[in-house]
Structures are given as C-alpha cells and as structure tokens.
Chains A and B, each alone.
Chain A
Amino acid sequence: MNMVRFILKRLGLALITLWILSVIVFLLGQVLPSDPGRSILGPLAAPSAVHALDHQLGVDKPILTQYWNWISNFPGTSYQYQAPIGPILGPALLRSLKLAIFALIILVPLGIVGGVVSALNAGKPIDRTISVVGQTMLTVPEFVSGIVLIVVFAVALGWLPVTATAPPGSGFFTQIKYLILPVIPLVMVLFGYIARMARVGTIEALQSDYARTATLKGLPRGVMIRRHVLRNSLLPTITVIATQTGYLIGGLVVVETLFRYQGVGLLTYNAATQHDIPMLEACVLTIGVVYMVVTLLADILFSLLNPRIRLRAAE
C-alpha cells in the first residue's frame, strides 16, 4: 500500500514536470534565431516563398495558439519532414533503446565488477590500474574513440561494419554485430564513472560496522561480501546507472552521427538545428518520459534494496 502511494505520488510529480518541460522547450524554441520556413527553403529562397511556407506551417500565428495547436494534436506533424511525428519518433526511440540496452548489458557488469575488484584490492596495483584506465577512457570523447575504432576494426581489418544500422530484415545476431562498434565508445566513457561509484560504495560498506560484525562473527569473506557488502555498496551505483540511462537514450548525438544511427539523439539534434519545434518538443518530452520512468524504476529498486526509503516514504 505504502509502495502504491509512493509510486502514485511520483507519477503525479512526473506529469507536472513534463508539462513544465514542454512549456520551457516551446518558449526556448521561440527565442531561437531563424524560422522554420527559412530552415526548410534554405538561405537563398525568396522571402515570399518563406512567408508562404511559414503561413502553411502556422508558425506566423500567436504563440499561445501555436502552443495549443501543438498540445491538442500531440505529437503532431514535423515542420521539417512535413510528415506525422509518431512514425518517425517511434522507430527512432526503439533504435535508441536497443543501443542503450546493449550498452548497459555490457557496461553494468563490467563497471560493477571493476569497481568491486578495485575496492577489494584498494591501494594495490590492480586497483590503480582499473582506476587509471577508467579515468583515462572517461576523458576520451566518443568522436575520437569512435573514429579510431572505425578506422581500425572496420576500415583496416574489415571485421565489423562501419555503420550501426543493420540492413532491413537482419536477424538478431547480425543486428548485434552492427551495434558492437558504436557501443564500445559508450562503454569506454561510462565505465570509469560506474566503476568509481561501485568502488567507493564497496569500500564504504567494507569499513562499516555491520561488515566488521559479520567478519567477527566468523562469516567467510566471500559470503560476507555477497550478502552484506554488495547489497549496500550498489545502492549509489544504481542511481548513477539510472541517470546515465537518460543520457544513453537522448544524448548520443555524436555516436549516432558517426555510426549513421537514426536514434532519438540525432532526431533531437536535427530538430533543434532545423527549428522543427513540434519534433523537438516530442523528442524532448519522450526523453523526459524515459528518464522519469528509469529514475522511478531505480527508486523502486532502491527502496526494495533499502527498507529505510520505504519507511520514510510511508511516513
């Protein structure tokens, strides 16, 4: 019961946040320079043609009318593509989710294992190696690691495809093959971050009273780590992973551009540069929804692992 109330309260807050987000994005869209007609027709088009197109698109109407038109026809029609947004955004979201899930499947175990191994060997060479490697990879931007990977594995060795989009009708494993190269830069960037969180959490848990008690009462080290340390040390890591999932869904412009992957990040970026406000709105709200759902799931998971949260929420 307490859990249901907790979730309902969170959902209510999420809806309000989404509405505020929609207003902010809409207003930001209004203050951006240039206009949609000009973006579509290009800088050299005749002003009369731009006026005619702006009128067709309805962007010469008052701001409130535009906002109402958009919200009442959600997700509406893209200015840029002159086509309904749903059929464009839906597949893009699926593609981004596919990429994000694949990245997470590799990243999470790798990051956690790396962090825990580091923590258990704190101060030893293996800990330093993991930390240094993680931090170094964190500082290499995706467009650098991505191009290096393409040049080495796709162009020189020819092992993997250059693009991330598998040909239509490809099977599961072919699709995975196409996603391997794009996933590596993401894993590289996020590994250091997650490993560091897992390391700090584990060290904290190892130094805690309950860990000492467990050791003193004679539990074997392996059991003590599995039952007591990991369960507590991973709490902050879950939050970090949840936040990064939002980034994995919407912030992959660089990787998506480099590997020709039509995901939400690329769609959002193009919508922003082309002044395609309905598309931009729909993308940002979709990313917002994904972000909130993931955070909500993380909170639920968090509370399942940590009864103190449940109790506080119920109070």
Chain B
Amino acid sequence: MSRGNSELDRLRAGRTELENHYIDELVSGNVSRRDFLRRGSMIGMSSTLLGAILAACGSSSSKTASSSAAGTTSTSSGPVTKGGTLRIGAVAPAAAVNPLTVSDAGGLLMLNQTGEFLIFDSNLKLELQPMLALSWSPNTDGSVWTFKLRPNVTFHNGAAMTADDVVYTFQQLSDPKNASNALSAFAGVLTPSGVKATDPMTVEFTLEAPNGNFPYLVSSDNYNAIIVPKGTDFTKWQSTFVGTGAFKLGKYTQGVGASFVPNPNYWGTKALLDSTTFNFYMSQAPMILALQGNSVDVIAQFTPAGAAAILNSPSYKIIKLPSANHRELSMRNDIAPFTDPRVRQAVAYTLDRPGAVAALLSGDGSVANDYPFGPRFKSTDTSVPQRTQNISMAKQLLAAAGHPDGFSTSLKTEIYQEIPQLAQVIVEDAAKAGIKISPTVETQTLYYGKSTFGNSDWLDGTMSLVDYGDRGAPNVYLTAPLTSAGTWNAARFKNKTYDGLVKQYVAALDLQMQQQIAGKIENLLLQETPIVYPYWIDGLTASTPNVNGLNPTSIAQLYLNTAYKSA
C-alpha cells in the first residue's frame, strides 16, 4: 500500500485542483472506479493516467479507458477476418445530409460514416473517449474549456486538420443566423465569438455560463458537430462527405442508399472491411424483413415495437445500449384541475410502469421515476424511491383535491413508434382512478405544428405525450421542458426554486455536487409532478451472428472501422 501511495503522490503532482479532488473521491471510496473513469475522462484526464491512478489505488482490474476512437464491442468472437462488404439496413435520411441541418436518425448515421467529433461518447463503455481532441480541461468554474487536438489528422481531401477547422465548424453550428440544428443545444451556452484557436492545435471555448457537461456538447451526442474543413459549404457537403473518419464516400444516392470505402490515411484503427453498403428503408418493418431475408447483415437501429420476430430469435445478435430515449406526459400546470399538484400526482400514481415496459418495449427498457434522471446518467441520485402504481393513493389525492369522482380531460399525442399504444395504456390506467382522458392521436406534422407556444398541439395540449431522443447529459431535459423560460415547457411549469437548482446543476463540475443537486431536483419534481416519465427505452442494433466489432451509440450512430464478418 505504501508503494501505491507514493506512486499516487507522483501521479498527483502537476494535476489540477479538480483532478486531485476526483482522486480524493476515489481514494475515499465516494466514487466507484467506473464513475471515476467516466468523470475523469469527462474533464479530460487521459486513459493512461486514469489507469495508472486506479493501479496506484490498489485496483487489480486492468479495465482502462480506451484511447482508440472506436473501441471494440462486447460482441466480438472468433478470429478477426479482413475484407468483404458489410450491408447495413437504415432508415432513409429524411432530408439532405447536411451537417448543419440534419435532425433525423437516418441523416446522423450518414454523418458519422465519414465524420468524427472532438469526443466520442461511448455508450458501450459509458465514458467519453478522445476522438479528434486528445484532451480537454475546464477552468476553475467551468466557463472556459480548452481542447488539445489530435496531431497528424488529415481530411479526406488531403488537408491537415487544425484548430481553424474546429473553430469554423463550431462557429457555423452556433451562429443564430444559420439554419443550424445544433442551436437548440448551444442556446445560452455558446456563441460564435466564444470559439477561438489559441494555437494551431488548441481550441478554447468561452461559454455564456459555466457548464460542467460541456464536453458532451462537442461529443458525438451533438450529432451535428462533426469536424469539417474550414470554409466548407454545408449545403454541398453531401456531394463529398468530407471528414476525417475511417471510411470515405463511395457513392450516395438520395433515398436509395450509400456506400463507403476505407480511408487509407486514417489516424486510428484502419477499417477491416473492403466496403460498407447502406440500404435505405422508409420504415422499420421492411428493414426487419430484409435482415430476416438476408438482404442486409445489420440493422443500424430499431425500436422494440414491432420487432418481436428478431428480438425473440436466437438467429440474431442484438446489441442493447442504455439510452436516455424516453417519453414525457406533460400536464398544463396553468389549467384546472392540473393547477393542483395533488391531481398531477394522482395521474402519475395510476400508471403501471413495469407493465408498460413489458408490453410496449418487450422489456427492452427500464421504468422511469417522475424526473429526467435515469440509468444513463451518472449524476442520478438513485436513493430517491421509485413511484409505483397505487390506485387507492390516486383516489385519495383526487378526493383531497376536490375531485372525489374523478374528472374529464383531453390528451394530444403523435403517431410515432409505440406512443399511440402508450397513450392507450395511460388512458386505461387513469380510468381506474376515475380520470376520463379522451386522447387525440395526430401525425407529427400536425402535433408539433410550429413548435412554439400557441401554435402547437404538443406545447398547448392540456395533457400532451411526446418523445425525447437520447442525450449524453440530462441538461436539455432539465431546461427546455421544465424551466420557467424553457422553450418546450408544454407543462407551463414555473418554479423559482427549480430554476435555481437547475442553474447550479448545469454549472457543477464535480460529480458529488451534481448528484446532490440531482437529489434535490428529483424530490422537487416528484412533489410537483409537472410531467410523468413512464420509461427509458434501450437503444437496439441487430445483426446476423457472423458480424462482429460493431460500435453503435444510443442515438443511432454506428462506427464500423472495427467491424468484420467472420467466416
């Protein structure tokens, strides 16, 4: 142990205050090794360093953060075979593959085939891994983040990647004058003037407000943020797909498919396959049939609804990833009877969450409590008790709120994946406590409308059931739908204490601090229940048994440089 401590002292020398704080937390047992790896990688400690610290602390396990961009997956088996073409079934990109504007699963899957991010958020390992940035670190309050770039990276057009390219990319993404889909993530966090190169290999981000989770916003979670060469015309990007990735464009045909070939100058693990071919499908059902009919080897991402045929079959490999993909049932806090928190709690108590996970997700998900912290996030305070179905409690709460015989209300929702069925479950469960909900199920276009207050059934419905896609950090879920000024606050929830807690949470750099605030937020939201959160949905990728080394993320990206087909 004495050798360990002197080794640790050596490692501590020259570390920042925050890094040393994490080491203290690890030594004192306040954070687990897994959390230490995750948090350490988030503030930019290298994998070698993290491994050395764990070793010095007497950890015998050799598990360290991988520094390769695309780590191996848990599905590898047999000897690695080189060559061949991998055929992937994917949802057709809904619009042009433009890094600025892409907003759908099909489009972001295309971006990641040739494009790379500063950081890779590995769902398989639950940690941030260096990609085009080698390291990153915040200043003392988390308002300035500095990224050291990976040297000797070239774009597919032959140009070397430098800080100028990174600055250009993030200035375009954060410019309110641009049609950038990343603006919803960067609002209040980053403006174009906050990005600058301090030397050819260093980029500094000066934020609008301190942000402890900023690395997630420049990671693969912010799927628009692939690094492109300075001066790129985004509207023409899809003719070149120029990036830094292990694959470069073969051919892209709108609505039909795409093919990619290995990039011989790739900085990392070079592709094992000779090529990849993507076949686009308009919906999930034909994609699953294509896997069954051996027309494709892999389905990039699918949902459990309607996929029982492959989920329950031993003939397919399924990769399951914990994801923050979820549904939110909001209740208008400004419209009676939902002005009374007891009424909102009553609705929450009627819901049979484990039943819904089993019936609607084939069990590929986990129950949620009534706040946006879940298994995907390390900052979740797991000591807060789970809310379960309790009809008599619901009836008591309704009686106390002056509705002993229940009441009638309406629910607006969208045609998307299993949501119409979930609406039905909510209606039936609520009826058990005398709450009569009449649901309206609309197309997404109609439901979202203009996505502004007064012009959207999503934001204006008395009750409204909507989908939220996966994110690496809960910041967006905590702000947009719940803060007083939140742009997607369908519940019209306005609570000063909550707003203050969220501000503290967003700024907190330290995991313990984040968990502490998370606990307060969780209890406050359980008390107020502006929104019911039924469940978290796993990210699913399927392949035939001979496919190995897939590296998917829960937001539908799929890195393929380590993929191979065994004989």
Instruction: Find A43's partner among B101, B283, B448 (CB 8 Å cutoff).
Output: B448
User: CA A154 – CA B452 in complex, angstroms?
Assistant: 46
Q: Please indicate the chain B residues that have their CB under 8 angstroms from the CB of A47 in the complex.
A: 450-452
* A171 within 8 A of partner (CB): no
Known: A46-B183, A260-B281. A266 touches B255 (CB 8 A): yes
B458 within 8 A of A: yes
Could you mark each residue 157-170 of chain B with 1 if its beta carbon is under 8 Å from any beta carbon of chain A, else 0?
00000000000000
Q: Are B104 and A39 in contact (CB-based, < 8 A)? A: no
B residues 284-298 near A (Cβ < 8 Å) are: 285-286, 289-290, 292-295
**In the bound complex, do residue A41 and residue B255 qualify as a contact, i.e. CB atoms below 8 Å apart?**
no
Indicate if B254 sits at the interface (CB-CB under 8 A). yes
CA A47 – CA B180 in complex, angstroms? 10
A53 touches B292 (CB 8 A): no
User: Does the CB pair B488–A44 fall under 8 Å?
Assistant: yes
* Bound CA–CA A82/B94 (angstroms): 12
Bound Cα distance A151, B450 (Å): 40
A50 touching B95 by the CB < 8 A rule? no
Q: Which of A220-268 contact B (CB under 8 A)?
A: 257-260, 262, 266-267
Neighbour of B293 across the interface among A41, A154, A258, CB < 8 A: A154
- Determine which of B187, B281, B448 lies in contact with A46 in the assembled complex, contact meaning CB atoms within 8 Å: B187
- When the two chains form their complex, are residues A257 and B283 in contact, meaning their CB atoms are under 8 A apart? yes
In the complex, identify which listed stretch (A16-24, A63-71, A117-125, A156-164) lies at the interface while the others stay far away.
A156-164
Measured between alpha carbons, how far is A205 from B5 in the docked complex, in Å?
105
**Are A82 and B98 within 8 A (Cβ)?**
yes
Task: Find out whether the CB atom of B181 lies under 8 angstroms from the CB atom of A266.
Answer: no
A48 is an interface residue with CB less than 8 A from chain B: yes
Is residue B176 contacting chain A, with contact meaning CB distance below 8 A?
Answer: yes
Complex: A125 Cα to B285 Cα, angstroms: 40
The smallest beta-carbon distance between A205 and chain B, in angstroms, is 44
Are B295 and A45 in contact, CB atoms less than 8 angstroms apart?
no
Residues of A within 8 A of B178 (CB): 49, 52
Given the contacts A42-B103, A45-B103, A270-B255, A162 and B449 also touching, CB distance less than 8 Å: no
CB distance from B258 to the nearest CB of A (A): 12
Stretch from A1-9, A30-38, A130-138, A206-214 that touches the partner = A30-38
B residues 417-467 near A (Cβ < 8 Å) are 444-446, 448-452, 458
Across-interface contacts of A273 in B (CB, < 8 A) = 445
Question: Does B533 touch A at the CB level, under 8 Å?
Answer: no
On chain A, the residues within 8 Å of B446 by CB distance are 33-34
Q: For B448, what are the chain A residues with a Cβ–Cβ distance below 8 Å?
A: 34, 38, 43
> With an 8 A cutoff between CB atoms, is B235 at the interface?
yes
What residues on A are CB-neighbors of B285 within 8 Å? 147, 258
Chain A residues whose CB sits within 8 angstroms of the CB of B180 once the complex forms: 46, 49
CB-contact partner of B445 in A39, A50, A266, under 8 A: A39
- Interface contact A158-B103, CB-CB below 8 Å: no
Asked if B177 and A52 make an inter-chain contact with CB atoms under 8 angstroms apart, the answer reads: yes
A313 at the interface (CB under 8 A from B): no
Asked if residues B101 and A40 are in contact (CB atoms below 8 Å), the reply is: yes
Q: How many Å from the CB of B87 to the closest CB on chain A?
A: 10
State whether A41 and B290 are in contact (beta carbons under 8 Å apart), knowing that A34-B445, A80-B94, A80-B96 are contacts in the complex: no
- Nearest B residue to A36, CB-CB: B95
- Smallest beta-carbon distance B289→chain A, Å: 5
26 contacts between A and B (CB under 8 A): A33-B445, A40-B101, A41-B181, A42-B181, A43-B451, A44-B103, A44-B488, A45-B184, A46-B176, A49-B178, A52-B176, A81-B96, A82-B238, A150-B289, A161-B293, A161-B295, A162-B293, A162-B295, A163-B295, A257-B282, A259-B286, A260-B281, A260-B286, A262-B254, A266-B255, A267-B255
Task: For the A-B complex with A44-B103, A260-B282, A266-B282 known, give 7 more contacts whose Cβ atoms are closer than 8 Å.
Answer: A33-B445, A33-B446, A43-B444, A45-B103, A47-B451, A48-B183, A162-B289
A interface residue numbers (CB < 8 A to B):
33-35, 37-50, 52-53, 56, 80-83, 88, 147, 150-151, 154-155, 158, 161-163, 165, 257-260, 262, 266-267, 270, 273-275
